[in-house]
Structures are given as C-alpha cells and as structure tokens.
Amino acid sequence: MKRMKLLLAVAILLVTALQGHAQTPTGTAIPLDATVSADGQSVELRWFDAVPPRAEESLLSRRPLGATGSETWQPLARLPGTHIRTTDDTIIPGVAYEYRLFRRHAGTFSAGYWATGTDIPAPQDRGTVFIALENSLTALLQPRLTRLEDDLTGAGWQVQWLGTPRHQSDAIQTLIHARALKQRLRDGLNAQAPGRRHMLLLLGHVPLVLSGSVGPDGHHPEPHASDLFYGDLSGVWRDNGAGILMHDRLPDGDIELPVGRVDFAQIAGGDTALEQAHLRAYLDKTHHWRHGVLGDLRVAYGQTEHLQVEKFDLRNVLGPEALTTGGHHNAGETQPWLWGLDFGHWKGADYAGYAIKPVFAMNFGSGKQKINKRNNAIIGLLAQPFYTVAVAWGARPSWRLHHMALGHSIGQMQMVTVNNGAQGGRYPEGMDYVPTGAYPWRAPIWVNLLGDPTLTAFPLPAPRNLRAVAQDGRVRLDWQGAAGRYQLLRASPDGAYTLLADITAAHEFIDETPIDGARYQLRALGKQTVYAGSFHTASQGVFAQVGVPPVSAPDLRQTLSGAGPHRVIFDQQGALLAPIHPPEVGRLTLTGDGWHYLAPNGFSGGVEIAVSASGSGGTAIGRLVLDITP
C-alpha cells in the first residue's frame, strides 16, 4: 500500500510538472537566413519560410556575439508582421554580431537567431583547460597524453592536470571522490587570473554523480547523471545521505565552465582493454581533426523534428543548401559530415556495427541522456572509430549551435545552452534563447557533453615537417604548408611560449639568438570564409627542437591470407600510428587488442589505408597497404 501511494504521488508530481510546462507557451523556432555584404558593413536577414507566415509584429534585436543576459539584446527595428526581411547597415567589420527575431502571433511567439560578422580577429589566449584524468590511465596512455597537451598548447590553451580515482559502484564513495575532484578544480580556478576562460575535460571513467528525480524524456523520473556538477563551482549541491544529489536544476542556475567527458566504460562491458582502445582511438581522431587531416567539412544531415532548433542553427553554421535530410543510419554512413542530427537507434550495443561519420552529433531518443547506463547509445556514437569527436542528447533542452559559425567551440555551446537566462526570470522575456524545446527548460542538470569541449569547426591545416637545425651558432627552421602567413613561438625548457616572429610569404626562419634546449612552435594563420561571414584563426601548432628530427611518413605493408578478421599491425619506431579513414574495401574495426581488418568474402588484391604518424610535435601522413589473398 505504501509503495502504491508513493508511485501515485510521483505520477501526480510528474503530470503536474508537465501540465505546468504546457500552460506556458513554449514557442516555435524561426529558420532565419542572412547575407553579409562583401564590404562587411551591412547584413540582410530573411525569414520568408517562417511558420506561421503572419504575425502581429516582428521585433529585431542585436548584441555582440558572446554577450549574455536577456537585457543585452538591444532593439533595432519593430516591423509589421507581414515583413519577411530587413537590412542592418550599421555593422562594422571586425565585430561579431548576434541577431534575434521575435514574433508574436495568436497568443504565442516564435524566435530565431543568427550570428554574423566579417574579419573577426582570432583569439590570442583561449584560457586554461583542466584535464581530470583517471589515475590508472596515466602510464597506459602516456604518449597520447603528451600529444594531447601539445595539441591543446598548440591551440592556444594552457593545460593543468588533475588526477582522480576511477568511478566506484558505491554511490557514497563516488560522491566523496567527485567532491574532492571538484575542490581541486575550484582551487585551481581560484589561482587563475580573474576573467580567464576555463574548460574541463574528464578523461576516463572519472566519478559520475547522480542527481535529482526527473524524466526529461517523458519516462519514469529517476536520478540522472550530471557532469554539470563539476562545472557549477558556486552552487551548493545537497545529497540524500546515500550518495545521490537532490537537484533537478542547477542550484544557482548556471555553470562557470563547460565540461566534456570522454569515457567508454559503459560500452566496454568490463573489458578494460577495449575501454582503453576506445580512448586511444578517440585521442587519435581528435588529433586528426585539430590538424585538419579530416578535411574542411561543410555539410550536415538531420531528419527528426525533435531537433528542429538545432537544425535551424546549422543553417547559420553551414548554410541552408548544405543541410541534407537523413539520419545516422542512412546518410550518416555514406560520407564524412561536420554535423549529424537524428533520433538514432535506441540500442547502444548495436553501434559497434555502424560506420557513422559526423564530427559533431546529436543523438536524441528515450533513455539516451542516461550516460551512466550500460550500452548507452550516445557513448556508442562517440565510439565511432574515425570521425565523431563530440555528442550530446539535444532537444530537451534544445542546444544552441549557431556560435560555431564563427569559430566558437562545442563547449561554449554547452555553456550557452545551460546558462540560458536568470533562473527566476520570466519565460520567454527573461531568457537568452527561446524556444528551449518541448518545454521551457531552465538550468537542467542533465545537459552533458560527451567529447572534448575545446573542439571547434573549420580547422586550418597545420604546417608540416617543421625542422630545427643548429648552424653556426644560430638555428634554422624550415617547414611545408600552404598558408601565406605563419606565427613562430619559442619556449625555454622551463618557460612559456612567447612570440618570436610573424612570418609572411616564407617557409623558413633563422633564429639569431637561440636558447639552449628551446622548443619552437609554429602555427599557420589564415581567414576562414564561412556562410555567416569570415573570421581569422590559427591552425594547430606544431613543434620542433634542435636534435629531434620530424616524424617521417609511414609506408607500411602487410600480407593477410585466409578468412578474417585479421589483426592489423601499425608499427613505426618512435611514433604513434593510427588509421585516418575507413578503407574503401572491407571493414576496419576496433577491439581490445587493436585494429582488425575483414575483407569482403572472396576478395583478393591490395587495400590502402591512410595512416598518420605523430611524435616529436608533428604529424605526417602515409599509408598502410594490405595485400589480401583468399
């Protein structure tokens, strides 16, 4: 009887909550489009395919891209509801803007957002990345961890490492470890300069806390996994004495830094070798993406109406014509994509058999937001071996993505989505962005990001073959690359990198005053012209030292005979080797003991696989040829 009463009470609370949401008009999204002029001094915004087409009036507002708080929106024009376009001729090149179109009609509203600007300057100091690393992984992943620090340093970040015990099955012990990690993070942040940007990467099976009792997917309410616990440093999180936190919403309404998790324990089924293999593969494919090895992707797919807001934002990132109707399991497997949005298959265990190829993805569907569950489908998508570097649930609430059009990271998009207006403000007036999906979500605790939060779209290809050679008391540096401008930095053995030279129309430099043991860093500089406008950016940095030769491109060959799958040997002394793309013939899959190739039945001949070799601060691209005999 007591159990029946409890279940009835929970049901009444859930129904009441949903009814409360339903009584608040959640609004609809407007698919905007815009064109910025060649001189960067005007932008035409259009909403001719807005639904519904008529409104009482349209209010256009603008603010600097990156501003937060509903009060930062400054009205530009109040237009009749029949208007379908307008032009702002007051913009200035070098400034990034964000527009909001707000329309009222029939007692509800619709809203759309657009980011634009030309010649936006590149950030010089991105901030600090804290990496919370599961202690047991330090030795196992050391070469790749060193490369990861180089990659982050070469992208303009400072790096601080925080060790932590592995997640425990005991909830109380897990919460103890999580709180200890959070305090170390708080201490590290307090030692930083005020106003500095921060991000947190959880690497490995870092303690994963549960909080609240909620069912955002419409199913039975229960505690949900929340990495936002680490990102909310000022809120007071209470627990129930049994290791479960008690909050459905962030205690003080926002997070201070984005948090991304790279953790494959839930799909490895206790096989730590497989878990570690997925971690190595993840670090390899993010390295490829940062260095521009996977290409400059300008296409996306999507098909579910649940992710309509996210799909409309991708119009801003890539342009309406770059969006294809399709899902993870049809379009997603045909080619590489920058973004993929879909209500993918619910069965996470099946994702090991897929070959889905978006770099960034949303995977909506019941239960997928529960990243603590065995065979989670979002983690399964992150484990796709060659492309996918970041995945989120989306839709509830809707993620805002349009800032990525001008170089903002996926972690910044998580923070924009979570910190969406004051917790006690009115909806929609007190929100930065509306609609928030099916319901007016405010500061929910389940908006987890799986993947590295520092990653961005549109990477520039990095320079290649950087060498540093001592000559007559000087150091000569030379390299290869297609950029017209480069930035060269230098660090003493125990010091930070400082700018040594800005180099135009050359691929060499002489350091007349070298420092013993110095390490050099080189970045290509360029302008990315995108659908939303243009922004200046730097490539991933590459590194060199006197006496350390650049890594050489692999040229490998292996003979395989008989029925597969066969283990593929990637081996070159002094370098990390990894496949870049799937082979055109057959299938390359990952297991706990490495990569395995399975040829089509009866196939014979040569199969070429593109391979990267990284080490000593650089990356070279070569190949592995498999000679297949039946």
Q: Check: CB of residue 592 under 8 Å from CB of residue 271.
A: yes
Q: How confident is the model at residue 364 (pLDDT cuts 50, 70, 90)?
A: very high
For the chain, what's the residue count? 630
Encoded tokens for 546: 């006197």
Sequence-ordered list of residues with C-beta below 8 angstroms from that of 179, at least 6 positions apart, any chain:
none
Q: Which has the closest alpha carbon to 238: 221, 257, 252? A: 252
Q: Which has the closest alpha carbon to 401: 389, 387, 388, 415? A: 415
Reported as half-sphere exposure (CB side, CA atoms, 13 A), residue 597 has a value of 27
Q: Which has the closest alpha carbon to 183: 146, 148, 226, 132? A: 132
Residue 503: C-alpha distances to residues 79, 84, 121, 395, 397 (Å): 49, 47, 18, 45, 46
Q: Check: CB of residue 170 under 8 Å from CB of residue 243.
A: yes
Rounded Cα gap, residues 76 and 60, in angstroms: 6
Query: Which pLDDT does position 108 carry in this prediction?
Result: 87
Rounded Cα gap, residues 224 and 233, in angstroms: 19
Q: Which has the closest alpha carbon to 580: 341, 285, 342, 361? A: 285
Q: Please tell me the least confidently modeled range out of 228-237, 322-331, 558-567.
A: 558-567
Query: Which pLDDT does position 9 carry in this prediction?
Result: 34
Rounded Cα gap, residues 45 and 99, in angstroms: 9
Q: What are phi and psi of 110, to 5 degrees?
A: -140, 155
58-70: pLDDT as tens digits: 999 999 999 999 9
Q: What single string gives the DSSP state of each residue in 337-371?
A: EEEEEE---S-GGGGGG----EEEEEE-STTTT-T
Q: What single string gives the DSSP state of each residue in 525-590?
A: EEEEEETTEEEEEE---EEEETTBPPPPPPEEEEEEESSS-EE-----TTSEEEE-S--SSSEEEE
Asked if the model's pLDDT at residue 2 lies above 80, the reply is no
505-536: pLDDT as tens digits: 999 999 999 999 999 999 999 999 999 999 99
Neighbours of 516 (CB within 10 A): 7
160-181: pLDDT as tens digits: 999 999 999 999 999 999 999 9
562-573: pLDDT as tens digits: 888 999 998 888
DSSP type of residue 93:
T
**Three-state secondary-structure class, residue 333:** helix
Q: Check: CB of residue 482 under 8 Å from CB of residue 465.
A: no
Q: Check: CB of residue 267 under 8 Å from CB of residue 205.
A: no
Query: Which pLDDT does position 8 carry in this prediction?
Result: 30
- How many degrees, rounded to 5, is the angle at CA 16 between CA 10 and CA 22? 140
Q: pTM of the prediction?
A: 0.95
Rounded Cα gap, residues 481 and 488, in angstroms: 14
Q: Check: CB of residue 613 under 8 Å from CB of residue 577.
A: yes
For residue 410, the Cα-to-chain-centroid distance in whole angstroms is 4
612-627: pLDDT as tens digits: 999 878 899 999 999 9
Residue entry with tokens 């996977």:
294
Neighbours of 2 (CB within 10 A): 6
Q: Check: CB of residue 27 under 8 Å from CB of residue 41.
A: no
Q: What are phi and psi of 306, to 5 degrees?
A: -60, -30
Any idea of the CA torsion for 287, 590, 134, 127, to the nearest 10 degrees?
A: 20
Q: Check: CB of residue 119 under 8 Å from CB of residue 536.
A: yes
DSSP type of residue 144:
H
Residue 107, Cβ density class (10 Å: 0-12 exposed, 13-18 middle, ≥19 buried): exposed
Query: Which pLDDT does position 562 carry in this prediction?
Result: 85
Q: Which has the closest alpha carbon to 309: 441, 425, 408, 185? A: 441
Residue 608: C-alpha distances to residues 493, 554, 581, 625 (Å): 40, 12, 10, 4
Q: What single string gives the DSSP state of each residue in 607-627?
A: EEEEEEEEETTEEEEEEEEEE
Q: How confident is the model at residue 266 (pLDDT cuts 50, 70, 90)?
A: very high
586: left (phi over 0), alpha (psi -120 to 50) or beta: left
Tell me what the mean pLDDT of segment 302-323 comes to. 96
Asked if the model's pLDDT at residue 315 lies above 90, the reply is yes
Q: Check: CB of residue 551 under 8 Å from CB of residue 575.
A: yes
Asked if the model's pLDDT at residue 14 lies above 70, the reply is no
Rounded Cα gap, residues 509 and 478, in angstroms: 7
**Three-state secondary-structure class, residue 521:** strand
Tell me what the mean pLDDT of segment 412-430 comes to. 89
Encoded tokens for 613: 């070799």
Q: In what order do the strands lie in the sheet with 594-598?
A: 566-567, 594-598, 587-591
The 3-state secondary structure of 400-437 reads CCHHHHHCCEHHHHHHHHHCCCCCCCCCCCCCCCCCCC
The single-letter code of the amino acid at 608 is E
